[in-house]
Chains A and B, each alone.
Chain A
Amino acid sequence: MNLDWNAFGEVAGVSVGATVAVVTVFVLGVLALSQRETARESGRGGGSALTAAGLCFLACAAAVVYGLYLIIPGFHG
């Protein structure tokens, strides 16, 4: 029996890293949305907060697309 502990370690590292990264970016997006609402209520535009939120969610969407790429074998032979 030859257990590939390196492979296990790699899976563990990549999984934890990817999860924390995606969730953190998503949280930042939600925070930006929250700030925008606060800004709007106090009469300011909150445009930059909206842009920041959009960028965060775009990054999350990219992660989803990469996930789809991994799920669908047709994309990578």
Chain B
Amino acid sequence: MGHITFLVAVVIATALAFDFTNGFHDTANAMATSIATGALRPKVAVLISGVLNLVGAFLSTEVARTVSGGIVDDALVTPAMIFAGLVGAILWNLMTWLLGLPSSSSHALFGGLIGAVWVGAGEHGVHFEMVVEKIIVPAVLSPVVAGVAALLATYLAYRLTRRARERTVGRGFRIGQIASASMVSLAHGTNDAQKTMGVITLTLISCGALGKQAGPPVWVIGTAGLAIGLGTYIGGWRIIRTMGRGITDIQAPQGFAAEAASTAVILSSASLGFALSTTQVCSGGILGAGIGRRLAEVRWGVASRMAVGWLVTLPSAAAVGAVAAAVVVHGGTAGIVVIAVLTAAVAGGIVLLSRRNPVRADNVNDAHDVAVRPSAPAVAAA
């Protein structure tokens, strides 16, 4: 391991930090509706999801062979650019968590990389037609498909059970939800942990610590799985509240339909190699389930705020990644230290801000909205 330089060590640590934010940002995808309907107690839900994410990391050996799946020119990417891209992704993930916005961790990562490569290697390093084909088109279509599927399924579920015993129906669907939520968690672990493993493995290959065709060493699989599992267990409660209570008031049949739809979309598109966002698919599913039940109130304000969040995720992470890349590329080791310290400071500041109006396991179901200001819980966070 004599090849591991300071820069490589920093990239690995940053990749694991991103993996952690990825985990706690995305706990909501699998578990928000189960927590909202009471199918699982909050702490139990995040424990199951965390363990399944860790298991998922070990189950799948198909680690990405490229950093980005062709979105940027991998031949031009240096560890410094990867570091800058990860910084952009981490800061955007923390920002949206503070606001309780379910935004895509994958888009944050790709955005950060695009910005970093654009500045570090020039415009020709970014393959814009691939960005449209692999990110933007699936981002628009996948939530719509999940939404339509969840809408139809929810409508059918309520239509067919309207004469059945309410208690039996509620209990049945709550048990079903445990299975459907677990499937989403496992699929998440096999997908998202791989991204971090891919980033670390390619960094190790680029510095000569691993051979050209090497797979990820066991310690990389283990640490990446642990980081995402731990992040999931810590739980992004602010986002869980928005997805479970904010978009619509979810009942057990809706939660089951939404999760079944999300699982179906994630699994059926996996073979096509889309950079599908679990977050967007699950949000679409929940929205569809909200529309599918008559009399259910869908909070379009929350939904449109979320949609705006999706639109700005990639460019925002790209902007942060670009600034970080500019400093790192021109500043060398000193630049890396400056960016690392700044990132830690901003991250710490965001965590402190969240303390003013905390959302935890014990109050996650108490309200619909996530506020940043302490005194005015009714005012939507701006």
Interface set of A (CB-CB < 8 Å, partner B): 1-4, 7-8, 10-12, 14-16, 18-20, 22-24, 26-31, 33-35, 37-38, 60, 64, 67-68, 70-74
Bound CA span A8–B164, Å: 37
Identify which of B93-101, B253-261, B347-355, B366-374 touches chain A. Answer: B253-261
Contact between A20 and B59 (Cβ–Cβ < 8 Å)? no
- In the A-B complex, the 9 residue pairs with the smallest Cβ-Cβ separation, listed nearest first, are A30-B172, A19-B149, A23-B153, A34-B164, A15-B264, A18-B264, A16-B149, A19-B261, A1-B129
| Residue contact B133 to A70, C-beta cutoff 8 Å | no
- Are B150's CB and A19's CB within 8 A? yes
Q: Tell me, yes or no, whether B333 is within 8 Å of chain A by CB.
A: no
Are A15 and B261 neighbours in the complex by a CB distance under 8 Å?
Answer: yes
The reply to whether A15 and B169 form a contact with Cβ atoms under 8 Å apart is: no
A11, A23, A26, A64: the one contacting B265 at CB < 8 Å is A11
Quick check: B160 and A20 within 8 Å, CB to CB? no
Chain B residues within CB distance 8 Å of chain A: 56, 59-62, 129, 132-133, 137, 141, 145-146, 148-150, 152-154, 156-157, 160-161, 164-165, 168-169, 172-173, 176, 179, 183, 186-187, 190, 253, 256-257, 260-261, 263-265, 267-270, 272
* Count of A-B residue pairs with CB < 8 Å: 121
Which of B59, B152, B176, B179 is within 8 Å of A16, CB to CB? B152
**Closest B residue by C-beta to A18:** B264
List 14 extra interface pairs beyond A11-B269, A71-B187, CB under 8 A. Answer: A3-B137, A7-B272, A12-B141, A16-B152, A19-B149, A19-B261, A19-B264, A30-B161, A30-B169, A33-B172, A68-B186, A71-B190, A72-B60, A74-B59
Interface centre among A1, A12, A14, A72 (most CB of B within 10 A): A12
List the B residue with the shortest CB-CB distance to A63.
Answer: B260
Closest to B190 in A: A71
- Tell which of B56, B61, B172, B267 touches A70, judged by Cβ atoms closer than 8 Å: B267
CB-defined A-B contacts under 8 Å, sample of 29: A10-B268, A11-B268, A11-B272, A12-B141, A12-B145, A12-B148, A14-B264, A15-B149, A15-B268, A16-B152, A16-B264, A18-B264, A19-B152, A20-B152, A22-B260, A22-B264, A24-B156, A26-B176, A28-B160, A31-B160, A31-B161, A35-B164, A67-B183, A71-B187, A71-B190, A71-B267, A73-B59, A73-B60, A73-B62
* Interfacial chain B residues near A4, Cβ < 8 Å: 272
- Structural contact, B146 and A15, CB atoms closer than 8 A: yes
| Neighbouring B residues of A30 by C-beta, 8 Å | 161, 164, 168-169, 172-173
A37–B168 Cα distance when bound, in Å, is 9
User: What A residues does B190 contact at CB under 8 A?
Assistant: 71-73
| Bound-state Cα–Cα, A10 to B145, Å | 11
Alpha-carbon gap, A60 to B62, bound state (A)? 28
Cα A10 to Cα B183 with chains together (Å): 22
- Interface contact B156-A23, CB-CB below 8 Å: yes
Give B379 Cβ to nearest chain A Cβ, in Å: 37
Q: Which residues of A contact B172 (CB under 8 A)?
A: 26, 29-30, 33
* In contact, B169 and A34 (Cβ under 8 angstroms): yes
Q: Are A11 and B183 in contact (CB under 8 A)?
A: no
CA A50 to CA B179, docked complex, whole Å: 21
| CB-based contact B165/A34 at 8 Å | yes
Task: From B61, B146, B156, B269, give the contact of A20 (CB < 8 A).
Answer: B156
Question: Measured between alpha carbons, how far is A24 from B253 in the docked complex, in Å?
Answer: 11
Contact indicator A33/B148 (Cβ below 8 Å): no
Contact in complex: B157, A67 (CB < 8 Å): no
Bound together, the chains give a CA A45 to CA B160 distance in angstroms of 23
A49 to B165, CA, bound (A): 14
